[in-house]
């Protein structure tokens, strides 16, 4: 398995036991390579296994069969604590519904990942949070509650949060799903800027053709299998 790749999956399978008995297979033998610095969009119909694949790549689901390595780290070999630390340092998450903590200010939300495991001086964390908010155009909103921001602004805060510890991989689940077209375009441009500036790898799950078009590569899933990898529209 190559260690220069961002993600390497071989024969990746994910099955879930149903409450009433029986098993459903969400992913069924997925082989996937994602190069470092690549932007990959995962598309497919609902239930095709997109989010399952994203959760596995994002290391929040480890109940898989097959092999999965992220930046050369075989995830199965990590225990629960190591996996949390891996997520903290290597992976940034961006969600469709932003998932900012409403009781914290914008700045505190951005600094949140530094609360877990990262041994970084508070002053440095704060400086970096200010810098990231400047970068996403929200430098003056540091002390505001996130509820006072628009959807696009909240998503930019979420992206700043995901970038705080400078992870080499961003996993984004429908990042523009709650945004209007113009705002979505701004977010996509931001992703491009991030990749250009930091060399960050981005894996995006989307239904949005615009998002899919902005990716370097498109991975189409059907019934848990990769039906194609191309730049054609979903």
Partner 1 sequence: MKVRRLLQLTLQNLRTSRVRTLLAMVGIVVGTALLMFFLGLGQGLRERVLNRIFPVNQLELEPRSVQVFGTQQVVGQGPLDDSRVAQLTQLPGVVRAFGKRKSAFPARLWGGKELLGYNLFTEAFFDGMPVEMLRAELATFEHADAKPMGKSARCDVDLDCPAGAICVDALCQPVVWSAHWRATPAVALPCGKNDECQSGTCVEGRCALANAPPLARCLLDKTAGNGRDLEFDAERGLTARPCDAAGGWCKTAEPCPERMYCAADHPDTMLGYCEEPLPAVINPLLLEVFNTDMARSLGAVPVGSLAVLYGVRFHVAFGDSFFTKDAARPMQQYKQAQVVGFSRKAPELGVALPLAIVAHWNHRLRGEDPSGPYDAVLLETADNEAVPQVISAAESLGFSLSRKSQAARTAGAVIFFTALGLVLLALVVLAVAGVQIAQTFAMLVHERRREIAVLRAIGATGSDVAVLVLGEAALLGLLGGLAGVALAWLGAVAVDAAAQHWLANVPFLPEGFFVFPTWSAPLALGVSLVCCVLGAAVPARRASKLDPARVLAEA
Applying CB under 8 A, the residues found at the interface with partner 1 are: 51-52, 55, 58, 60-61, 80-81, 84-85, 87-89, 92-93, 95, 97, 99, 101-104, 108, 112-118, 122, 161-162, 173
Q: With respect to partner 1, which residue has the nearer C-beta, 11 or 177?
A: 177
Beta-bridge partner residues of 114: none
- As measured in angstroms, the least distance from the Cβ of 230 to partner 1 is 27
- Considering beta carbons, is residue 41 or 57 the nearer one to partner 1? 57
Q: How far apart are CA 106 and CA 139, in angstroms?
A: 10
Smallest distance, Å, CB 184 to partner 1? 20
Minimum CB separation of residue 35 from partner 1 in Å reads 24
Output the smallest distance, CB 115 to partner 1, in A: 4
Phi-psi region of 139 (alpha: psi -120 to 50; beta: other; left: phi over 0): alpha
Distance between CA atoms of residues 209 and 102, nearest Å: 31
Per residue in 161-176, is it b (16+ CB within 10 Å) or e — as a string? bbbbbebbbbbbbbbb
| Nearer to partner 1 (CB atom), residue 47 or residue 216 | 47
Q: Is the CB of 36 or the CB of 84 nearer to partner 1?
A: 84
36 backbone φψ class: left, alpha, beta (φ>0; ψ -120 to 50)? beta
């Amino acid at each position: 398995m190559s260690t220069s790749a961002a993600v390497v999956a071989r024969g990746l399978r994910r099955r879930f036991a149903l409450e009433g008995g029986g098993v459903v297979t969400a992913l069924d033998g997925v082989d996937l390579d994602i190069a470092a610095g690549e932007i990959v969009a995962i598309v497919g119909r609902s239930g095709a296994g997109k989010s399952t694949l994203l959760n596995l790549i994002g290391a929040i689901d480890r109940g898989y069969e097959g092999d999965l390595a992220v930046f050369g780290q075989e995830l199965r070999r990590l225990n629960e604590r190591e996996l949390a630390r891996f997520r903290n340092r290597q992976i940034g998450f961006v969600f469709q519904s932003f998932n900012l903590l409403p009781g914290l200010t914008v700045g505190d939300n951005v600094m949140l990942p530094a609360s877990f495991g990262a041994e970084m001086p508070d002053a440095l964390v704060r400086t970096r949070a200010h810098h990231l908010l400047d970068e996403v155009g929200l430098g003056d909103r540091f002390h505001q509650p996130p509820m006072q921001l628009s959807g696009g602004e909240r998503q930019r805060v979420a992206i700043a949060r995901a970038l705080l510890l400078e992870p080499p991989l961003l996993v984004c689940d429908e990042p523009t799903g709650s945004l209007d077209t113009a705002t979505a375009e701004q977010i996509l441009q931001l992703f491009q800027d991030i990749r250009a500036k930091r060399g960050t790898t981005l894996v995006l799950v989307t239904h949005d053709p615009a998002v899919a078009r902005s990716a370097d590569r498109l991975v189409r899933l059907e019934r848990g299998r990769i039906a194609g990898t191309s730049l054609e529209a979903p």
